Amino acid sequence: MQKTEKPLDLSPPLYFVVLLRFLEWVYPPAAVKIALRYFYTPIPFKRPGRESKTYEQAKRQELMIGRKRITVYTWGKSDKKILLVHGWSGRATQFYKVKNYLLSRGFQVIAFDAPAHGENKDVKTTHMLEFVESIERVNMTFGPFYGAIGHSLGGLAILNAYNKGFKVEKIAVIAAPSSIANVVRDFCQRIKAGEKTERGIVANLIAEYQVPLEHYSGQEQAPTVKASGLIVHDIHDHDVSVEEGRMLNKAWKTSKLHLTKRLGHRRVLRDKFAVAMIADFFGKRNPGRPKPQRKPPRSNDQKAEQGKTAAQKPSPQKQKPKPKPRPQNPSNKAEENKQQGVQRENNPRPQKPAAKQEENKKQDSQSDNKPRPQRRRPPRKPKPQSRKEDTANTPKPDNKKDTPNKQSAPNKSKSSEDGKQS
């Protein structure tokens, strides 16, 4: 089961909270001034290693908004372009997975680091209207755009820029706030400011922009947006409540709301299912080669039937291909035979002289009369017998005197037989 995202600790240090509460009790205007300074200052975060490849692959260019700088990133090349706008304390490379999915669908992706965000460290403060100016400046340089995707405050800035001339066909808004009053209230709760400081911040915002506080909110801007929209919001978002997404969906007539679970405020940008759905909203991926369909596994009954049929059918024997006879012309063949016969008659085989033939016959006859030498096999050596067997087989003599007479007797008989034969 996927765990819920842990909310980032965006609360200020302890000394800031103590100073703010002391000034609220002693001099409230000073507390409001310090709170506004912190309200316009984004929190810098280091770029993680998973975003380094996206940063290196991008083509970077710098643009100016008044005296403030923005950094523009470009990936791919296509006629259809999509703009990515990050949120407060964010950066362009946060969309690294969204970028990959859009490139696979044939889009060119362009994003930027807003003032005081990402690589733009020349200033430390900014606000939402400078986000809107950045969108207009990028649109003038790289536009027109087919669609736009905004995360958190970036989604709210896209809706404001649309009503100022940033016309696109499709807009996707991820975890965006709908009410600016709720944004100010959440900020005051995070820095542990009192009601006096909250009322002072609202009064300063109205005096600076000379419009009602909710004029730039999503509820006021969404009804006039004619582009088809997709709102993605997580139920367990601790930074922007899911009620903000529901309020925006009611005000935006051409939008659809999609709720996710256990992704929080930032992990939704890395979830493959959510990112694939957002990319499909702008255009589906081109189908590649169809995958080969695998045959379903055979059951035991099918295997047995196949074995029976194979046993009944005789196995076909492969026959070797016969060599093709060479084509022959009968008229040419007859002429060749005639030519060979003529050559044999003209060139007979050489015969040996008669004297040599007689000598060869004599040598053959003499070789036949000579007896062939027979090979004699060497006599077999008797097997050595053990001493025990020799003693057992030899008869024991009864008397010592009888032994020489018995041994001489056979010798005499042999000599007599030899004399007769001679």
What is residue 420's predicted lDDT score, i.e. its pLDDT? 43
Task: Give Cα separations from 23 to 33, 185, 199, 273 (angstroms).
Answer: 10, 19, 15, 48
Domain coordinates of the chain in residue numbers? 7-39+182-216, 61-179+226-275
CA angle 130, 136, 142 (to 5 degrees): 130
Q: Greater confidence, 235 or 399?
A: 235
| pLDDT tens per residue, range 2-28 | 666 666 666 778 888 888 889 988 898
Question: What is the pLDDT at residue 312?
Answer: 63
Q: Which residue has the higher pLDDT, 207 or 377?
A: 207
Q: What is residue 197's three-state secondary structure?
A: helix
**Selected residue with higher pLDDT from 311 and 38:** 38
- The residue length of the chain stands at 422
Does the structure show a pLDDT above 50 at 301? yes
- Distance between CA 179 and CA 251 in Å, rounded? 12
What 8-state DSSP symbol labels residue 11?
P
Q: Are 75 and 108 in contact (CB under 8 A)?
A: yes
- φ, ψ for residue 299 (rounded to 5)? -80, 170
What letters, b where the CB count within 10 A reaches 16 and e where it falls short, cover 294-321?
eeeeeeeeeeeeeeeeeeeeeeeeeeee
DSSP 346-366: HSPPP---HHHHHHHHHHHHH
pLDDT score, position 342:
55
> Which pLDDT score, from 0 to 100, does residue 21 have?
87
Q: Is the pLDDT of residue 134 over 50?
A: yes
Residue 413: Cβ-neighbour burial (10 angstroms; 0-12, 13-18, 19+): exposed
- Whether 261 and 234 have beta carbons less than 8 Å apart is answered as yes
Q: Which residues contact 54 (CB under 8 A, 6 or more apart)?
A: 75, 93, 96, 99
Give the residue from 271, 263, 269 showing the smallest Cα distance to 238.
Answer: 263
User: Considering the chain, what percentage of its residues have pLDDT values greater than 70?
Assistant: 66
Q: Is the pTM above the cut of 0.85? A: no
Q: What is the pLDDT of residues 401-412, one digit of tens each?
A: 444 444 444 444
Q: 195-209 and 28-39 are packed helices; what angle lies between their axes, rounded to 10 degrees?
A: 60
Per-residue confidence at 318, pLDDT binned at 50, 70, 90? low
For domain 61-179+226-275, the question of CATH label 2.40.440.10 is answered with: no
Hey, what are 281's tokens?
Answer: 């909203």
Query: Could you give the CA distance from residue 340 to residue 402 in angstroms, rounded to a whole number?
Result: 96
